[in-house]
Chains A and B, each alone.
Chain A
Amino acid sequence: MKTRRSLLKTSAGVAAGSVFHIGSTAHADSPLKVDSQFDGSVQNVPRWENSLPVPVPVRPLSVRQIPAAYGGKPVGAVFHGVAPEYFTAPAGWNMQSTQFHAMAAKAGESFILPRSMGLKTPIWGYAMARPDGTFGDAISPGPHYRFRTGVPVLVRTTNQLPEEISTHLHGGHWPSHSDGHASFLVLPGESRDYFYPNCLPLRKDGTPDITESPSSMWYHDHAADLTASHVARGMAGTTAGFDDLELGLIKRNVLPGIPGQSDENTIYNNPYDLFLALGDRVFHPTGTIWYDTNNNNGYLGNVETVNGAAYPRFTVEARKYRFRFLGASTARHRRIRLSDNSRMLRIGNDAWLFPKGQSMQAFGISPGKRVDVIIDFSRYQPGTQVFLENILEQTNERGPEGSLEQIGDTEVTGNPAFIHRLLRFDVVAANPAVPNASITAQSELRPHETLPASEVEIRRSFRFERKNGHWAINGQFYDERIANAVPRLGSVEEWTLENSSGGWWHPIHIHLESHQQVRNLTTGALPPYQNSFKQDVTMLGPNSSIVIRMRFRSFLGPFMFHCHNNEHEDVEMMFQFEVAESGSRGPKPVNRFFA
């Protein structure tokens, strides 16, 4: 604080229009040292030349009736069909309001590196459909969707790539057919109708469980054996979910937004709320992404990107913003802070808002995770530049330096030994027509209900380990025809997630619903505040065990659970559970399969 104030004072005499940097300059930027995979890679990337790509929300092609872009092919009449739930939708799903979209996975190119370097990067991304059914250019991150809880969405996804794909919309509650199961593919040249009912799971009393309404989701490729290379080539995008509660928070100006605009229409236009997808890459001197398909330990880049641009800058008004951070890397973990160590308000973990925000100086984010954060720029004078910094060193694929507890520490004491700047915020005056959001750490957000031990029906244990030069779970490998767990529909289970692969980190992602951490068996500790509600990725540090509870509602399986270090997932640190009418303690052959 002292440093910042004195800096501000010194700068007060500087002529108008000049900028002053906020933050420690002692460690302006540490290079990203990674285990050398490729010696000739691009090293010196100019900072803050790129402007931050801000994804434009996609409008549906049509509502209620299938769009012309479907070429007269009804829902389900494509090669891979549609989820059976589309035809058996209960009355509560409001099917007559279904929004129809279409997109294609295809090859393209993008300026990830600053244009001054003159290097275009070939990518594999996603392209929106035009009204006539043709597709635009592939972009990465892909088209940004905004879903409304209670309004079903159908996305016809066509594969124009030469390899098979599967699109997983991570953080939502979807039918098995549409969940991006690793073996439920879209073959080259074919299409699949992904059906997202946007329904809430029901409580025991039959009322919708509003605690489960997702806010921050992302989609990415999930095809078996190919996930990591496809994600590294760019196959990822973001999706925001809104329900009445969250739109109410925007309307009442608790959450940042333009009341009367950001809480209305199908795309909820909101300049003060955006995803920041954090990725890292290695570049060949020609600008091509360098990716070693045969290194199944993890991919670490030496160039950081935000929303698909290397080291961008972003102009912000001096007001509160909501940033939905996404760990879009396959292996890199980060600990994020502002360069002046200012406090931020964390309001959610993965897809779900907290009951109340958490004031903090830093947050950890691992592959696959989302961290929902309010940053208040009204504390800065217009003209100020403030940086987003990663203060977590990671030099090899095993994982970052430090322990799970250190990474989760919300306070930053002393000067970090490692600082790598990712994004520059350029502060300008706030638009006076829009009042600043009122959110504080006391604001009520999304209520939470704890899953009690009394409801647990089955306890299971999964050990994430290395075996035979492969990544395994309980000594076994992914088999698309084996349901490794069979929970009863509607039941609660308690799983122990154990990491015994000496020294390696594994972020464990479980599809279908949120899960709740109960206890860290290694330390005996209860979960820290940010992990004590809902999440869909639980981070396992080296040699740690964490107990979680989870409910399995609405949809019969199968669904995946796996390590979200995508390279580990591809070499089979992946299992599936099949939610069924009657549960089973042991594994069973998969009953429902939607190739």
Chain B
Amino acid sequence: MVCMIQARWLGRALVVLHLCLPSRAVVAAAGGPAATGVQDPGAALMRRQFAESMPDPVLINQRGERLRFFTDLVKGRAVVINFFYADCDRSCPLANGTIRSLRSEFTESFGRSVRFLSITLKAGTDTPEVIARYAKQHAVESAHPDVPDWHFLTGNPDEIRALRWHLGMREKDPAVDGDPAQHAAMLVVGNHATGRWAKLNPLVRPSLVREKAQRIIGWTAAQRYADIRAQVAASAGRRAEPDPAPPVLPPEEPEEAPLPILGRLETPLSGVERGGTPVSTSPLRGKVTVYGRIYTLCPHGSQAVLAAMKRLKDAFGETGEFHLVALSPESTRDTPAFFQSFATLAGAVAEDPWWFVISGKEAVDRFTRSGLGLDPPRPIPAEERLHPDEEEEYDLRLVLVDQQGCIRGRYEVFHPDPFLSQDAAWQIGADTAKLLSQPLPDPNRP
């Protein structure tokens, strides 16, 4: 679900957050409001409602591809949208110039996680052939793998008008609204994942447009505010935080689609449970299992992971078909006894279908990497350590494994954006329910 670049980048983002926030704020960011855990559907709706009712017409791009506007182009992405027509000689050339420069500036930082969509206002005359010629004139195709897509789109004029109105590009005066020559030059910039949308004026200072667009397009707080943080730091005479490498998020799968199979858990892990009992994960075949790595030196991360596991236990623990496994390599600190108290604090009792397994470091690393498909530990440079023993940074995603041992999802329940971490916590619950063919428990009813 999350590619390597992002995982590496996020690791850094967490370090940055650790360094610059009081620890309490990090807990709040990881646990979300009141640590209620599961993303409240109402709160999600408050932020995401704009895209909830977005029209989904079929549009045709310059390559002749038929694409659904929301499903294929917007969902899971950040987008920069404008309206144009091929023989427009007023604001279109200016807007195209702004888009071209944004596209080149975002290539490195956002890659293909952002899309540029130019939709025609004269669908009647801007046929797919005209659109193709127009795109060719603007030389929008690129062989570079990270250049964001720029689609020129045409389609049914009525559907495009409805879409334009939904996007807020509607003039109250019908005479103005119906006249393409008087169309607004605005860019509609949005991010489906965070639900943030705004209209930006392409005719103001380009760096202002870029900075504002970045705040909307950015997937993480650090990315959104890199420029402002640097400014504040500069004005305070402090060193700017390093600008981390960018993440690239692939699009989300459509909701209706079955859960993807991301891999298979071939080799089981053997280790020791809390009380010292030897256990193996092989008898868990036949159950839906969630694995998570516990990293007791990172209290915020572990807290978020354990809280997410606790919610899953509360929701599905009594089905008899569900199991949780918290993993950690053995060390002088992480002993079975220490894990016992850790588990108690997390709200796990011995009868729960929830193991806290300790095994050798090599075995745990191999199991999490080749088995669960998590990222390998990343060494933390000495100067970034918050704790002298904290030598490596771990991928703390929860992994959902189905009855057949297939990996069906990895979930970022510890993420600097509380919205995204809550969303991940909600998503793993929904996906688990799907695998168990159970209705998702109502998060509002304890």
Measured CB to CB, the residues of A under 8 A from B are 38, 71, 79-81, 106-109, 120-122, 133-134, 137-138, 158, 160, 162-164, 185, 187-190, 224-226, 233, 284, 286-297, 396, 398, 468-470, 477, 479-481, 503, 570-572, 593-595
Q: Which residue of B lies closest to A472 (CB)?
A: B201
Q: Are A294's CB and B184's CB within 8 A?
A: no
Cα A201 to Cα B441 with chains together (Å): 59
CB pair B42 A291 closer than 8 Å: no
Min CB distance A566 to B, Å, is 13
Q: Are the CB atoms of A284 and B49 closer together than 8 Å?
A: yes
Q: Are A470 and B205 in contact (CB under 8 A)?
A: no
Q: CB distance B41 to A160 under 8 Å?
A: no
Which residues from chain A contact B419 at a C-beta distance below 8 Å?
Answer: 162
Provide the residues of chain A in CB contact with B29, threshold 8 Å.
Answer: 160, 188-189
Decide if B70 is an interface residue (CB 8 Å cutoff). no
Do residues B42 and A164 form an inter-chain contact, with CB atoms below 8 A?
no
* C-alpha gap A133/B184 in the complex (Å): 48
CB-based contact B221/A594 at 8 Å = no
CB–CB B42/A122 < 8 A = yes
Q: Which residue of A lies closest to B235 (CB)?
A: A595
Please determine whether B232 and A595 come into contact, CB atoms closer than 8 angstroms: yes
List A contacts of B28 (CB < 8 A): 106, 160
Please state if B186 and A163 are interface contacts (CB–CB under 8 Å): no
- Whether the pair B221, A225 counts as a contact (CB closer than 8 A) is no
Across the interface, do B42 and A162 meet the contact criterion of CB distance under 8 Å? no
Q: Tell me, rounded to whole Å, the shortest Cβ–Cβ distance linking A220 to chain B.
A: 18
Q: Are B417 and A162 interface neighbours, CB within 8 A?
A: yes
> Can you list 9 A-B contacts with CB-CB less than 8 angstroms, sorted by A residue number?
A79-B232, A107-B43, A160-B29, A187-B225, A225-B200, A291-B46, A469-B169, A572-B201, A595-B231
Q: State whether the Cβ of B285 lies closer than 8 Å to any Cβ in chain A.
A: no
The answer to whether A470 and B172 have CB atoms under 8 Å apart is no
Contact across chains for B196 and A163 when beta carbons are under 8 A apart:
yes
Inter-chain contacts of B224 with A (CB < 8 A): 164
Query: Least Cβ distance of A487 to chain B in Å?
Result: 24
In the assembled complex, B257 has its CB within 8 A of some CB on chain A = no
CB of A570 within 8 A of CB of B198, answer: yes
The one of A162, A190, A396, A468 in contact with B201, judged by C-beta atoms closer than 8 angstroms, is: A468
List of B residues within 8 angstroms of A185 by Cβ: 228
Interface string of B182-193 (1 = CB under 8 A from A): 011110100000
Chain A residues lying within 8 Å of B4, measured Cβ to Cβ, are none
Residue of B nearest to A138 (CB): B33
A571, B42: Cβ atoms closer than 8 Å: no
Given the known interface contacts A162-B419, A189-B20, A284-B49, the answer about A470 and B201 at a Cβ–Cβ threshold of 8 Å is yes
In this complex, what residue of B is CB-closest to A137?
B34
Residue on B nearest A35 in the bound complex, by CB: B172
Q: B31 → chain A, closest Cβ, in Å?
A: 11
Partner of B228, one of A187, A286, A396: A187
Q: Is B381 an interface residue (CB 8 A)?
A: no
Interface presence of B171 (CB below 8 A) = yes
Task: Indicate if B337 sits at the interface (CB-CB under 8 A).
Answer: no
A107 touching B33 by the CB < 8 A rule? yes
With A189-B21, A189-B29, A477-B201 as given contacts, are A288 and B184 in contact (CB-CB < 8 Å)?
A: no
B431: Cβ under 8 A from any A Cβ: no
Given contacts A288-B45, A293-B168, 17 further A-B pairs with CB under 8 A are A107-B32, A120-B444, A122-B45, A122-B46, A164-B215, A188-B221, A224-B212, A226-B198, A286-B42, A290-B49, A294-B168, A295-B168, A396-B172, A469-B185, A470-B186, A479-B204, A593-B235
Q: How far is the CB of A505 from chain B (nearest CB, A)?
A: 13
Contact of B186 among A133, A158, A396, A469 (CB under 8 A): A469
Complex: A294 Cα to B191 Cα, angstroms: 13
Contacts of A38 in B (CB 8 A): 53
Whether the pair A122, B203 counts as a contact (CB closer than 8 A) is no
B40 CB to nearest A CB, Å: 6
Structural contact, A294 and B199, CB atoms closer than 8 A: yes
On chain B, the residues within 8 Å of A293 by CB distance are 50, 168, 196-198
Given contacts A79-B20, A189-B17, A297-B172, contact A286 B41 (CB under 8 A): yes
Contact of A479 among B22, B186, B205, B444 (CB under 8 A): B205
Contact B49 A294 (CB under 8 A): no
Residue of A nearest to B221 (CB): A188
